[in-house]
Structure 1
């Protein structure tokens, strides 16, 4: 008998079965983690699009400025001064209170249709609207690196998320 050959044919088959089950497990792990990463990214886009659509698609929307006069709880209020055709002045509009809104300052805004709620416009508003996607990119990078073992793709996702969050922070200051 040759020393490199297995003693029986049955031991060779056991090794093949182990290899096949490991490959199947690897395939299902990558597929499941890919689905989780895709779900996280979809949730990030969904969370961002609620605000981003008003900021990015401004045709036919009311554009103007708001001078923040008072802040209480989660909202700030102030008078709306129109800057676009068809926009009407309002004595009080609401803007979400965040690190990007300070009392006594004036901001370029877009009115959400059918409401007295406004969101920041311009480059800062666009970047700020996509902050949930930036967080989702960071979270998805962990899933891609740990669950799928795709480290390069994970670094690209993490870098994109960090760049988006940093740009948003710099733009809204």
Structure 2
């Protein structure tokens, strides 16, 4: 081979094969991390929906107020005073996961169908129900930033999570 001749086609093929493998690995990483981030967000929605459905879709459910008379462990209880049509008074209903619930205070609640379990309603109840999604947004932002290298999207996810958690904290106080 004469030194001034262009490179052979075998050298060109080696370079393009490397580019293809690097591109395939990059796509695989993006797909895997995208699937992990989507799974985290789905789990956050799934975890929130169990409580949020009762608060957000309250039409036809028993709504009223609970005056908290006592707390033990992770539940607080008190008498239920109905506000909605078709609701009946109850001597005792429970508020599980008693966050920012104080003895002697009255709270707006919605009863879960067929139980004596109450869920806080109104803006505080809605925001508190979506707290698991706020945590999922924060976790997904780390996956998106580190695994997918999409920093702007990660910032949006992270700040959304922080905003949701902060709003829930302020609302339940």
TM-score by length of 1: 0.94
The residue matched to 1:108 in structure 2 has which SS?
Answer: strand
Residues 98-126 of structure 1, C-alpha deviation per residue, up to 9 Å, x if partnerless? 33222221100000000000000000100
1:142-161 equivalent positions in 2, closer than 5 A: 142-161=142-161
List runs of 5+ in structure 1 lacking aligned partners: none
Question: Any conservation in 2 of the 1:48–1:132 contact (CA below 8 Å)?
Answer: yes
Corresponding position: 1:9 with 2:9: yes
Match of 1:83 in 2: 83
C-alpha RMSD of the superposition: 1.3
The residue matched to 1:91 in structure 2 has which SS?
Answer: strand
**Runs of 4+ deviating beyond 4 Å:** none
Match of 1:55 in 2: 55
Once residues 80 and 98 of structure 2 are traced to their aligned partners in structure 1, the CA distance between those partners, rounded to angstroms, is: 19
Structure 1 residue 96: Cα displacement: 1.3
Corresponding position: 1:172 with 2:158: no
Once residues 33 and 170 of structure 1 are traced to their aligned partners in structure 2, the CA distance between those partners, rounded to angstroms, is: 33
1:1-173 equivalent positions in 2, closer than 5 A: 1-2=3-4, 5-6=6-7, 8-173=8-173
The residue matched to 2:91 in structure 1 has which SS?
Answer: strand
List runs of 5+ in structure 2 lacking aligned partners: none
TM-score by length of 2: 0.94
